[in-house]
Amino acid sequence: MDEAKKTMLSGIQPSGDLHLGNYLGAIKNWADRAENYDCYYFMADLHTITVRQNPADLRRRTLEQLAQYIACGLDPERNTLFIQSHVHEHAELGWVLNCYTMFGELSRMTQFKDKSAAHKDNINGGLFTYPSLMAADILLYQPDYVPVGEDQKQHVELCRNIVQRFNGIYGDVFKMPEPFIPKTGARIMCLTEPETKMSKSIPEGCVFLMEKPEDIQRKFKRAITDSDTENCVHFDPVNKPGVSNLMNIYSAVTGKSIESIEAEFAGLGYGAFKPKVGEAVVECLRPIREEAGRILADKAYLEAVYKSGAERASYVAQKTLRKVYKKVGFVAR
Ligand code: TRP
């Protein structure tokens, strides 16, 4: 790895299928990052069991997601791609950091409050201490930047508090990470409720990366366009959120500007526009779907990828954990 490059790390929970919003909003821009950063991405399987999972589904989704990320352009030669549970240092440092994270801090996490309200029958200890494990995920690799969505910012802030507390006691052990909220990437909304973000929780308004072309077309044909009387492809996110969302999607997948899209469909109505967007999305996703399918069928290749990723990750993680164990006073084996 290039010493001069800064390091970036992010985890992805394999708890749902990837969709167009994930792709256009984030993943699409990740391939180019390897140019300037030393990048680590892992499937955060340890985190997913804070909520009950079906074991067979979790295993399948973890591998599918890895295959999909590679198909989206994340080159395993240029990025370290691994499965969290393969690198046991995550759980070990997670335990240590639990002891340097305060009950009060964990109680203030909005994700904990939301998830415990949503799963009242399973408010387990892991759900509560999840941010200490996330801090361990980060700190093992001493990254400069942690790309996360808005919803994870609070956890990165808590990680920074832990660094301050730990380094305050033991000296400079951890590098202080910065959250990295990417500015690029389109904000893709739900096709049936364009006021909310595209999400797997509303499947009819969500286009999955692995979905069949005819299903994608159907979803676009049924996409909500606005109830104004104009029936005109004009960009106005406040008054015409449905059409504007479709224009954003069309722009992101074709590279055309909003103005040129308005010109292209001048005089044509929503009925002409919607299938065109569907077609463009199908063509954009086709190579990804086909490539992900090929990768998933090649078990030996996929295994080689996650094994070599885990080896690279372990090498770095081990060094950090050894240092931490020494600092807190554990006897070296
Ligand atoms: N908590 C993150 C999420 O739910 C996933 C995650 C786990 C993560 N560990 C991380 C993200 C470390 C960034 C860094 O989306």
Do 13 and 149 reside in the same domain of the chain?
yes
Does 193 reside within a domain? no
Does 71 reside within a domain? yes
Q: Which amino acid is at 209?
A: L
The answer to whether 282 and 213 have CB atoms below 8 angstroms apart is: yes
Do 216 and 238 reside in the same domain of the chain?
yes
pLDDT digits (tens, 9 = 90+) for 29-39: 888 899 999 99
**One of 5, 115, 175, 327 is an active-site residue; which one?**
115
Does 1 reside within a domain? no
- CA torsion, points 175, 178, 182, 188, in degrees to nearest 10? 110
Does 197 reside within a domain? no
Do 280 and 303 reside in the same domain of the chain?
no
* C-alpha dihedral sign at 296, 70, 149, 173: positive
Query: Is the beta carbon of 45 within 6 A of some atom in ligand 1?
Result: no
Q: Does position 228 have pLDDT exceeding 80, yes or no?
A: no
Query: Is the beta carbon of 14 within 6 A of some atom in ligand 1?
Result: no
Sheet holding 37-43, edge to edge: 79-83, 37-43, 6-12, 145-147, 178-180
- Beta-strand ranges (E) seen in the chain are 6-12, 37-43, 79-83, 145-147, 178-180
Atom from ligand 1 closest to the CA of residue 151: 15
Can you tell me the distance from the alpha carbon of 217 to that of 210, in angstroms, rounded to the nearest whole number?
Answer: 13
Provide long-range contacts, Cβ within 8 A and 24+ apart, for 236-241: 241/189, 241/194, 241/195
Lowest mean pLDDT among 20-34, 189-203, 281-295, 302-316: 20-34
The predicted structure's pLDDT at residue 15: 82
Do 10 and 128 reside in the same domain of the chain?
yes
Does 35 reside within a domain? yes
Do 259 and 318 reside in the same domain of the chain?
no
The predicted structure's pLDDT at residue 3: 64
Can you tell me the distance from the alpha carbon of 24 to that of 114, in angstroms, rounded to the nearest whole number?
Answer: 26
The predicted structure's pLDDT at residue 1: 53
Can you tell me the distance from the alpha carbon of 292 to that of 272, in angstroms, rounded to the nearest whole number?
Answer: 31
- Token duo for residue 314: 């372990």
pLDDT digits (tens, 9 = 90+) for 112-148: 999 999 989 999 999 999 999 999 999 999 999 999 8
Q: Which amino acid is at 297?
A: A
Do 227 and 105 reside in the same domain of the chain?
no
Of 9, 28, 83, which Cα lies nearest the Cα of 249?
Answer: 28
Can you tell me the distance from the alpha carbon of 186 to that of 74, in angstroms, rounded to the nearest whole number?
Answer: 19
Q: Does position 14 have pLDDT exceeding 80, yes or no?
A: yes
Q: Does position 182 have pLDDT exceeding 80, yes or no?
A: no
Do 165 and 307 reside in the same domain of the chain?
yes
CATH of the domain at 268: 1.10.240.10
Does 257 reside within a domain? yes
Which residues have a Cβ under 8 Å from the Cβ of 11 and sit 6 or more positions away?
A: 41, 42, 43, 44, 47, 84, 134, 137
Q: How far, in Å, is the centroid of ligand 1 from the Cα of 96?
A: 18
Do 153 and 281 reside in the same domain of the chain?
no
Query: Is the beta carbon of 11 within 6 A of some atom in ligand 1?
Result: yes
The answer to whether 207 and 216 have CB atoms below 8 angstroms apart is: yes
Can you tell me the distance from the alpha carbon of 233 to that of 255, in angstroms, rounded to the nearest whole number?
Answer: 17
Does 274 reside within a domain? yes
Do 167 and 308 reside in the same domain of the chain?
yes
Can you tell me the distance from the alpha carbon of 209 to that of 17, in angstroms, rounded to the nearest whole number?
Answer: 8
Can you tell me the distance from the alpha carbon of 202 to that of 193, in angstroms, rounded to the nearest whole number?
Answer: 9
pLDDT digits (tens, 9 = 90+) for 262-275: 999 998 989 999 99
Do 181 and 244 reside in the same domain of the chain?
no
Residue bearing the CA closest to ligand 1, atom 15: 12
pLDDT digits (tens, 9 = 90+) for 102-113: 999 999 999 999
Instruction: Tell me the average pLDDT of the chain.
Output: 94
Does 194 reside within a domain? no
Can you tell me the distance from the alpha carbon of 332 to that of 212, in angstroms, rounded to the nearest whole number?
Answer: 54
User: Which residues, listed in sequence order, are joined to residue 7 by a DSSP beta bridge?
Assistant: 38
Can you tell me the distance from the alpha carbon of 58 to that of 217, in angstroms, rounded to the nearest whole number?
Answer: 28
Do 179 and 309 reside in the same domain of the chain?
yes
Q: Is 62 helix (H, G, I), strand (E, B) or coil?
A: helix
Average pLDDT over residues 224-244: 89
Q: What total of structural domains would you count in the chain?
A: 2
Q: Is 64 helix (H, G, I), strand (E, B) or coil?
A: helix
- In the residue annotation, 219 being an active-site residue is answered as no
Q: Does position 45 have pLDDT exceeding 70, yes or no?
A: yes
User: Predicted confidence band at 2 (pLDDT cuts at 50, 70, 90)?
Assistant: low
The answer to whether 170 and 329 have CB atoms below 8 angstroms apart is: no
- In the residue annotation, 327 being an active-site residue is answered as no
Q: How far, in Å, is the centroid of ligand 1 from the Cα of 275?
A: 36
Domain carrying residue 315: 6-186+299-328
CB atoms inside a 10 Å sphere around CB 212 = 11
Do you know the residue count of the chain? 333
The predicted structure's pLDDT at residue 31: 87
CATH of the domain at 24: 3.40.50.620
Do 289 and 303 reside in the same domain of the chain?
no
